[in-house]
């Protein structure tokens, strides 16, 4: 099979197409002929040598795929050859074939193309995990989402709209903020021009129940300042750097706030299986009805794989970048 290989520590142009034996099918798993895969920041970090795959997982890049089932293990009875599916992998997605735990797959909504399905799993499951599994947001809550025009940001904003939650978002340009508004943002803040904390505190003086932050850096105290009591700040990335400003303990204690970091890739198989099941039951029908959609920035051919990493590393996206084998 073909797959995308890379020079560890190399630049995006070090990505290249190589050949390898297809992975062996093992108990409880399904072999999928990959039609498309999503590009995620974890992929660029792994290429740079900064985010290795979990022990025992494939060294091949890629965390989400869409394609067609071509083989199932004997004990798997809820998938069959020919099913169109999408889902999570802990590695190996940048390949023509991948072996996936059967409970990490979902049926591809009929309304979606393979390219759209390839960009669904990571962003929507990450957003769902943060909003529901961790923060337990509920209708009529208010939340603040940083990185509003990112794949996760747009997915989180749509989920808020679906559940009757008001979402404020931050982004760097009027174009990105307009895109966020189209996806359901109730309050749009250009962080290059305005202090998001001042805007939130003026518009929503009661505060927000949750802040979803993939920026980190010096946002910490301002995030706490916009929380209502018993609110939570959930961190899932650190685009502005790994070190936060000096924590204002008075804010933390006065708000009875929680600060939690989370990732999805290194969660247990059981955790991911339950997350997939919960998301499938509550959200998957909304993709066929049109209440939820996958925001694809650009669909690339496999020969243009380097461009996807270049764009992601320059934060030059609105939605997902996906690659299709044909």
Q: In the predicted model, what is the mean pLDDT of residues 62-71?
A: 98
Task: Indicate if 209 and 269 belong to the same structural domain.
Answer: no
User: Which residues have C-beta within 8 Å of that of residue 308, sequence separation ≥ 6?
Assistant: 12, 39, 300, 321, 323
Using the predicted structure, report yes or no on whether residue 171 has a pLDDT greater than 80.
yes
Give me the pLDDT at residue 316, please: 84
Q: Are residues 243 and 142 in the same domain?
A: yes
Alpha-carbon span 32 to 278, nearest angstrom: 22
267-293 pLDDT, tens digit each: 999 999 999 999 999 999 999 999 999
Give the CATH number of the domain where residue 35 resides. 3.90.180.10
Distances (CA, A) of 236 to 32, 42, 83, 129, 291: 29, 11, 32, 11, 25
pLDDT of residue 307: 98
Q: Are 119 and 296 in contact (CB under 8 A)?
A: yes
Q: What total of structural domains would you count in the chain?
A: 2
214 and 85 in a common domain: no
| Cβ(190)–Cβ(174) below 8 Å | yes
Please report, for the domain that includes residue 187, its CATH number.
3.40.50.720
Do residues 143 and 195 both lie within one domain? yes
Same domain, 190 and 139: yes
Structure confidence at residue 245 (pLDDT): 73
Question: Structure tokens of 307?
Answer: 């461009």
Separation of alpha carbons 308 and 176, rounded Å? 19
What one-character DSSP code corresponds to residue 112? S
Place of tokens 């084998």: 325
pTM of the predicted model, to two decimals?
A: 0.95
Q: Which domain range does residue 308 map to?
A: 2-120+265-324
The verdict on 254 and 306 lying in the same domain is no
Domain end (from 261, 277, 305): 261
Angle CA 245–246–247, to nearest 5: 105
Same domain for 116 and 191?
A: no
54, pLDDT greater than 80: yes
| Three-state secondary structure call for residue 123 | helix
- Tell me the Cα Rg of the chain: 20
- Does 69 lie in the same domain as 14? yes
**Do 128 and 250 sit in the same domain of this protein?**
yes
Average pLDDT over residues 98-107: 98
Averaged pLDDT for residues 145-151: 94
Q: Which of 86, 90, 99 is nearest to 21 (CA)?
A: 99
pLDDT at 243: 85
Instruction: Looking at the structure, tell me whether residues 257 and 174 fall in a common domain.
Output: yes
- Whole-angstrom CA distances from 99 to 24, 57, 288 are 7, 11, 26
DSSP state of 95: B
Domain endpoint, select from 261, 282, 304: 261
Choose one of 261, 280, 297: the last residue of a domain: 261
One domain, residues 257 and 150: yes
Q: Do 35 and 112 share a structural domain?
A: yes
Strand duo 84-88 + 105-107: pairing: antiparallel
């Amino acid at each position: 099979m073909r797959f995308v290989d890379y020079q560890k520590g190399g630049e995006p142009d070090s990505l290249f197409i190589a050949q390898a034996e297809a992975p062996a099918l093992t108990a409880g798993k399904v072999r999928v002929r990959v039609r498309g895969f999503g590009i995620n920041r974890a992929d660029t970090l792994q290429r740079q040598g900064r985010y290795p795959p979990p022990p025992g997982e494939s060294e091949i890049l890629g965390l989400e795929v869409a394609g067609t089932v071509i083989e199932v293990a004997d004990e798997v009875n809820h998938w069959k050859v020919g099913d169109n599916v999408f889902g999570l992998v802990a590695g190996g997605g940048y390949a023509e074939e991948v072996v996936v735990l059967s409970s990490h797959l979902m049926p591809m909504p009929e309304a979606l193309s393979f390219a759209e399905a390839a960009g669904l799993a990571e962003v929507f499951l990450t957003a769902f995990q943060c909003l529901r599994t961790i923060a337990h947001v509920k209708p009529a809550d208010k939340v603040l989402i940083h990185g509003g025009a990112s794949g996760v940001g747009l997915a989180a904003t749509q989920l808020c709209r679906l559940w009757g939650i008001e979402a404020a978002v931050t982004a760097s340009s009027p174009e990105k903020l307009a895109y966020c508004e189209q996806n359901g943002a109730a309050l749009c803040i250009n962080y290059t021009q305005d202090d998001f904390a001042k805007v939130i505190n003026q518009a929503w003086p009661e505060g927000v129940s949750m802040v979803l932050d993939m920026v980190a850096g010096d946002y910490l105290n301002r995030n706490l300042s916009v929380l209502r009591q018993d609110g939570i700040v959930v961190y899932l990335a650190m685009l502005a750097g790994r070190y936060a400003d000096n924590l204002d303990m008075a804010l933390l204690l006065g708000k009875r706030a929680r600060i939690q970091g989370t990732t999805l890739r290194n969660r247990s198989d059981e955790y991911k299986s339950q997350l997939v099941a919960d998301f499938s039951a509550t959200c998957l029908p909304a993709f066929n009805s049109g209440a939820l959609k996958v925001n694809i920035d650009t669909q690339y051919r496999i020969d243009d794989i380097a461009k996807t990493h270049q764009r992601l590393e320059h934060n030059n996206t609105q939605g997902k970048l996906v690659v299709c084998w044909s």
